[in-house]
Amino acid sequence: MSRQSVLDRRIEGPGQTPKPSPVAARPRNSMRLGPYILMSMLVAGAFFGGLVAWSILAPLQSATIAAGSITVDGNRKSVQHLEGGIVKRIAVRDGSLVKAGDTLIVLDDVRTRAERDAVRGQLAAFVAETARLRAERDRADALTIPVELSNLIENKSELAFLMDSQRRIFETRMNLLTTQEQITAEKTNQLEAEISGLRGEISAQDDQLKLIHEEAADVQALLEKGYARKPRLLALQREIANIEGRRAQNLSKVASLKKAISEAEYGLVDTRTRMLNDVVSRIQETENEIANLRERLREAEDMLARGVVRAPVGGVVVNLSVFTDGGVIAAGDTLMDIVPADEKLVVDARVQVTDVENVKPGMKAEIRLSGFRQDEVPILFGTVQTVSADSQTDERTGESFYTARVAFGELTGMPADKQLQPGMPAEALILTGERTVLSYLMEPLTRSFSRALREG
């Protein structure tokens, strides 16, 4: 105990509590709090100084957040139908795994098949007619069945009926031509016989004339000597004139008969020529019809084949829009999409218009799978592949955005039962660079200042 305290206690007396001196108490309290206040000020100053230094010097990673969805790098394949029709059977549903060429939807083909059969029947008729016409043109002995006709008509009875009808026409026309040729030949032979007879008469008349001329010459000599009478000579001259007249008539008949033969032969040639010209002309017409019908048949066969809608590629069926047997599909309707199974998956992220200037191909990105609980799957990493050259507009919300395609890196850490599927929602955190806290805090101020300077 100090001397001052003992003195105080004596003054107060025994049994009384000593009172501290106000003058002495103030210096002692200040001496006790001073170091603490100083230390607090030093700590606060160091804290704020460090905070300012950190805000100026410490770099922070800046990023752009873009929501999107998982899609296929090569884009999904839309399945459409050219003509449309009535649904007969649906062979798949959303999520079905299909191979290229698998049946997806079967359309009712009654009308298409009827049109195809009608065109095939018309084509078969023209092919059969053309075969008959060619046989007539070539003067063939018999009509043969073309191979194309056998392929067009599978029913043997229908094929036999069609060919029998053409064969009857062929035989009738060939018989008619043969008959005309026979008639012409008989007529020519008859005329040739008449000509031969007339030539025989002319030859006999020539012999008669020769003899009579000799006899008349002898009578003329005797008449000059007075041994013969003139009436005898005149009688012989009359006989010569009669024979020459008959001979001239025979020669005229021969000429007429030759003309008749020429006319008969020309008539036969004309008949053959007209028949051949008609056949050739008709062949050209039928071949044109066959070419048109073959094209129509190919179109009908294609339309019939399109009645079975098949998968263009292997993959998974999504966005199926046909659900009812007997439903009607309009021409050009999209029936479903197929996500190729062998294509790489990427994230198509929507970048806001205000952030697109900071996003460049090659930037790293963190990908969070919104479709799973965050404790079930890890954060994946990827790289920005492309950024769309122009903005797009969401038709539903009217919001404008750019599309950044982000490719996945290694899918390490993904649980075996958690598989990525096209269409799943995802969020891309695109790392755009490093900035300090101070630059973040000062950015609004610098922008306002820059705008004020421009306006000024």
- The string of pLDDT tens digits covering residues 389-423 is 898 998 888 889 999 999 888 877 788 777 787 77
Residue 51, in any domain of the structure: no
Least confident piece of the model among 145-149, 249-253, 286-290, 432-436:
432-436
CATH of the domain at 414: 2.40.30.170
Instruction: Identify the domain containing residue 385 by its residue range.
Output: 343-437
pLDDT band, residue 311 (cuts 50/70/90): very high
Q: Which residue has the tokens 């019939």?
A: 304
Residues 6+ apart with CB under 8 A from 317: 92, 93, 94, 95, 96, 97, 98, 104, 336, 337, 338
Amino acid sitting at position 407: A
pLDDT at 396: 85
Residue 15, in any domain of the structure: no
Give the tokens for residue 219. Answer: 């009578």
**pLDDT tens column, 9-52:** 444 444 444 555 444 444 555 556 667 677 777 777 777 666 66
Are both 294 and 213 inside the same structural domain?
yes
Q: Which residue has the tokens 């062998």?
A: 342
Are both 322 and 390 inside the same structural domain?
no
pLDDT band, residue 180 (cuts 50/70/90): confident
Give the tokens for residue 141. Answer: 């002995």
Least confident piece of the model among 43-47, 173-177, 450-454:
450-454
How many helices, marked H, and strands, marked E, lie in the chain? 7, 15
Residue 260, in any domain of the structure: yes
Residue 450, in any domain of the structure: no
Give the tokens for residue 128. Answer: 């059969």
Query: What one-character-per-residue DSSP string does 31-86 give?
Result: HHHHHHHHHHHHHHHHHHHHHHHHHHH-EEEEEEEEEEEEEETT-PEEEE-SS-EE
pTM for the whole thing? 0.55
Least confident piece of the model among 65-74, 192-201, 231-240, 316-325:
65-74
Percent of the chain at pLDDT > 90 equals 27
Contact 131, 109 (CB under 8 A): no
pLDDT band, residue 307 (cuts 50/70/90): very high
**pLDDT tens column, 318-348:** 889 999 999 999 999 999 998 887 678 889 9
| Mean pLDDT on 294-322 | 91
pLDDT at 441: 58
Q: Which long-range contacts (CB under 8 A, 24 or more apart) does 441-444 make?
A: 441/55
Query: For residue 447, what are the CA distances in angstroms to 440, 442, 454?
Result: 11, 9, 11
pLDDT at 17: 47
Are both 190 and 282 inside the same structural domain?
yes
**pLDDT tens column, 96-126:** 889 999 999 999 999 999 999 999 999 999 9
Amino acid sitting at position 177: L
pLDDT at 3: 41
Give the tokens for residue 100. Answer: 């290229």
Are both 205 and 274 inside the same structural domain?
yes
Are both 216 and 164 inside the same structural domain?
yes
Give the tokens for residue 263. Answer: 């006319």
- Rg (the chain; Cα; Å): 60
Residue 160, in any domain of the structure: yes
Q: Looking at the predicted structure, is the pLDDT value of residue 290 above 90?
A: yes
Are both 212 and 360 inside the same structural domain?
no
pLDDT at 79: 93
Are both 127 and 264 inside the same structural domain?
yes
pLDDT at 32: 61
pLDDT at 341: 73
Among residues 337, 353, 377, the one where a domain terminates is: 337
pLDDT at 4: 43
CA distance 97 to 448: 57
Burial code of 138-160, b = ≥16 C-beta within 10 A, e = fewer? eeeeebebbebbeebbeeeeebe
Least confident piece of the model among 102-111, 159-168, 330-339, 372-381:
372-381
Residue 10, in any domain of the structure: no
Are both 299 and 318 inside the same structural domain?
no
Return the ∠ at Cα 404 (arms to 400 and 410), rounded to 5°: 150
Contact 77, 314 (CB under 8 A): no
pLDDT at 126: 93
| Mean pLDDT on 223-231 | 84
Are both 302 and 366 inside the same structural domain?
no
pLDDT at 128: 92
Residue 233, in any domain of the structure: yes
Q: How many domains is the chain built from?
A: 3
Percent of the chain at pLDDT > 70 equals 83
Nearest to 430 by CA among 374, 382, 373: 382
Residue 124, in any domain of the structure: yes
pLDDT band, residue 57 (cuts 50/70/90): low
Are both 160 and 204 inside the same structural domain?
yes
Mean of per-residue pLDDT scores for the chain: 82
| Mean pLDDT on 375-398 | 87
Are both 323 and 195 inside the same structural domain?
no
Are both 328 and 364 inside the same structural domain?
no
